[in-house]
Structure 1
């Protein structure tokens, strides 16, 4: 078990989770309270190389995203204790935010295979975005997340909107499932793998993390009232007249000017960029009530 103690609730949760998992019969072989989040990937890689057959991560979406490059297409499943601000991946997987119930999920749940997104060579679980989404990352500070929790996202979004400049984009779909499209004045392009992002926004009403596709959303620049309507509709996966959706397995994106790409809360790439889905790339411990992409979803 590796816990990012710099996650919003990490420090308080570490000792409780160790004791509770062991009392529930989980044979925890080693535990690490990690104070430097940048060491998460190497720490998980060492655990896998040492022969551990389950890795439990205590942290938020950033913690999960930082280790999926290590766990992708490996036989070691991921257990999750959601300790972050948004916990969108946990929400997608129906993993309870309550620590007691999250521990019980690891002890009593089952393992499912889910997709990952690929931005170039970078795996991600939730979403990659270009435009205001990247600006939100620049406006989001660890202090802000610790101070106001989930409210940090709308606060950072307001700051990002003030700084944003519309951009042009061209989307090409290599599998020819959609014709190429070009746009002149955009607020954002996002390529979602998971069902939720941004603190509970839906990628699409029927999106799933095991449906072998990516959900692409294009948001045109508009006035303040238009964008407020977009923000409201994104809670249910809509967006209104300023939003277009595409479902695909691969998409190539060019922008003018070239822009940074926000991948699960980290700026790790720039446009032009290629995105694709990696099917069944990650094994995750989930509650036994979790259903696949063919069944109903609930938050």
Structure 2
């Protein structure tokens, strides 16, 4: 029987890549998958490697965090091959949304089982993303959640980054146009999700699914410190509809404009600026995932 051939691309700078990548080739070989493996020192080259090396393989396997997956996505979609996910990042929100375990041996088993699922892909200014693109407070968090702090503290870096971000963030006015409707809001955070989880375990909406064909959007009005504390459980569990300071909507296309250009945080990376156009490609990505009934 012919063994499956995989292109394995690992971001060696991801949170647990140094420890977790040891033996991955052997794990995949035991599971019946032969690999040609790449560990590009520059994470920006992940997509280039996939574009150059995907001919002749049956699947693409990416080891890294949410930023690595998102940055590789354009090349994966162009290759039209199923994606295997090895969660090696700090938060691994996309893997969490799919029920892919953090244990890499179990993640390899899911790939070897060969069961695929088709999930939605979001687009912001034509750049694909998997989890959430956001403006405002989360951008400040991303600026602090990096470098030595992120490397040493990993997921524990998020609370410290939130505290620093709270000191520096400022409210802003935003115009939101969606499906032939328009509104203007003064807010501190706006998020547009094609997935379910983001930001180290937060939930865009308890109703959101990775394959529901919708963008889920929320905007948060300026809050006091006590207001933020009251909001935190709902950010965690996706129950923001309980709060009058939060505007919720779902749409298939959204345009966001601000008076001055503002950075957009896409799956944990700052990649573009407003004005931003968001859309959804339903079930555009095929990937290896657990049985949905067992998630």
Which residue, out of 168, 182, 185, partners 1:183? 185
Partner of 1:56: 61
The CA deviation at 1:257 is: 2.9
The CA deviation at 1:47 is: 2.0
The CA deviation at 1:142 is: 2.7
Trace 1:138-287 onto structure 2 (pairs within 5 A).
138-173=143-178, 175-176=179-180, 179-184=181-186, 186-239=187-240, 240-287=243-290
Conserved in 2, the CA contact under 8 Å of 1:110 and 1:285? yes
Give CA deviations for 1:133-174 in whole Å, capped at 9, x if unaligned: 11111112231122111111221121111111110011111x
Give CA deviations for 1:32-55 in whole Å, capped at 9, x if unaligned: 22322121110111122x222201
Partner of 2:3: none
The CA deviation at 1:73 is: 5.5
Tell me the number of residue pairs that the alignment of Structure 1 and Structure 2 aligns.
Answer: 286
Trace 1:25-64 onto structure 2 (pairs within 5 A).
25-28=32-35, 30-48=36-54, 50-64=55-69
Runs of 4+ in 1 over 3 A off after TM superposition: none
Q: Could you tell me how far apart the structure 1 residues matched to 2:227 and 2:77 are?
A: 39
Give CA deviations for 1:34-80 in whole Å, capped at 9, x if unaligned: 322121110111122x2222011111001100011112254211101
Give CA deviations for 1:82-127 in whole Å, capped at 9, x if unaligned: 0000000000111110111011111114111111110011100011
1:51 is paired with a residue whose SS is coil
With over 3 angstroms needed to count, the CA separation of the structure-2 counterparts of 1:108 and 1:243, relative to structure 1, is same
Conserved in 1, the CA contact under 8 Å of 2:199 and 2:268? no
Partner of 1:6: 13
Q: Could you tell me how far apart the structure 1 residues matched to 2:218 and 2:117 are?
A: 27
Conserved in 2, the CA contact under 8 Å of 1:217 and 1:245? yes
Provide structure 1 residue ranges, at least 5 long, that are not aligned to the other structure.
292-296
Partner of 2:292: 290
Trace 1:61-76 onto structure 2 (pairs within 5 A).
61-72=66-77, 74-76=79-81
Provide structure 2 residue ranges, at least 5 long, that are not aligned to the other structure.
1-7
Q: Could you tell me how far apart the structure 1 residues matched to 2:78 and 2:210 are?
A: 15
Q: Could you tell me how far apart the structure 2 residues matched to 1:193 and 1:52 are?
A: 28
> What CA RMSD, in Å, does the superposition of the two structures yield over aligned residues?
1.4
Q: Could you tell me how far apart the structure 1 residues matched to 2:231 and 2:57 are?
A: 45
